[in-house]
């Protein structure tokens, strides 16, 4: 009985792991920023170029917070006059930075909702919904990364297809050359046979001509014996 309970609990733990790891894509943190150390959120992106995260985050802020990121202090970017029911029931400002972490990148984001920067102690409900919103952002980055991989693979495929077309063109040219060479070879063989016949005929003509020359020489020697 105890063994059955243990196996059930182990299975439940295994099934819960994906959901747990999915939830932990976004971490709550306290980190130094332009206003000092403030609570915020961080999202890690393994094997992801920092520039991809920056580009997607810029679009994400515009599309979800109806605001535009601007460069701020210490390399941060900020967006004021933001609005999103997931973050706050009123307007807010967001401050963010994207840093390189090993072979990946990390987004650090702080949400100034007025009297405080959004955190679980002061507003657990909006902290949870903001975490869900940033999880959505994580997947948008992943889709963008995979989209770049698709483009890269498509480019490789296109390069191979172009290579195949070049090989096919070369193959056609080679076959055409072979047919031309075959035709020339056939003509050369026929010319060779004709040349051999012409040589044999010329040898006969030479012998005849030698006889004619010899006869002419004989006549030349007998000129005095010729009668007028």
Ranges of each domain in the chain: 24-150
Handedness of CA 70, 73, 75, 76 (dihedral sign): negative
SS3 5: helix
pTM over 0.85: no
Question: How far is Cα 118 from Cα 100, in angstroms, rounded to an integer?
Answer: 24
- The encoded tokens of residue 124 equal 């657990």
Name the class of domain 24-150. Answer: alpha beta
- Determine the pLDDT at residue 226: 64
With beta carbons less than 8 A apart as the criterion, state whether 147 and 56 touch.
no
| pLDDT values of the chain reduced to their tens digit, one per residue, 228 residues | 443 433 333 434 433 333 333 436 899 999 999 999 999 999 999 999 999 999 999 999 999 999 999 998 778 999 999 999 999 999 999 999 999 999 999 999 999 999 999 999 999 999 999 999 999 999 999 999 999 999 999 999 999 999 999 999 999 999 999 999 999 999 999 999 999 999 999 999 999 999 999 998 888 888 777 665
- Determine the pLDDT at residue 15: 37
């Amino acid at each position: 009985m105890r063994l059955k309970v243990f196996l059930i609990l182990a299975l439940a733990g295994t099934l819960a792991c994906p959901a747990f790891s999915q939830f932990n894509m976004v971490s709550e943190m306290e980190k130094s920023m332009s206003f000092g150390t403030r609570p915020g959120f961080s999202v890690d992106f393994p094997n992801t170029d920092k520039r991809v995260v920056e580009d997607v985050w810029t679009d994400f802020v515009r599309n979800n917070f109806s605001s535009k990121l601007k460069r701020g202090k210490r390399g941060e970017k900020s967006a004021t006059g933001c609005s999103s029911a997931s973050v706050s029931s009123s307007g807010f400002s967001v401050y963010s930075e994207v840093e390189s972490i090993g072979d990946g990148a990390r987004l650090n984001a702080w949400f100034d909702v007025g009297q405080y920067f959004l955190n679980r102690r002061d507003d657990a409900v909006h902290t949870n919904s903001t975490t869900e919103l940033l999880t959505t952002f994580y997947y948008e980055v992943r889709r963008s990364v995979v989209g770049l991989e698709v483009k890269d693979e498509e480019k490789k495929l296109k390069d191979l297809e172009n290579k195949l077309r070049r090989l096919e063109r070369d193959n056609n040219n080679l076959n055409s050359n072979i047919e031309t060479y075959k035709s020339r070879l056939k003509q050369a063989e026929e010319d060779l046979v004709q040349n051999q016949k012409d040589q044999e005929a010329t040898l006969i003509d030479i012998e005849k001509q030698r006889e004619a020359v010899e006869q002419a020489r004989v006549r030349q020697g007998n000129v005095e014996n010729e009668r007028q």
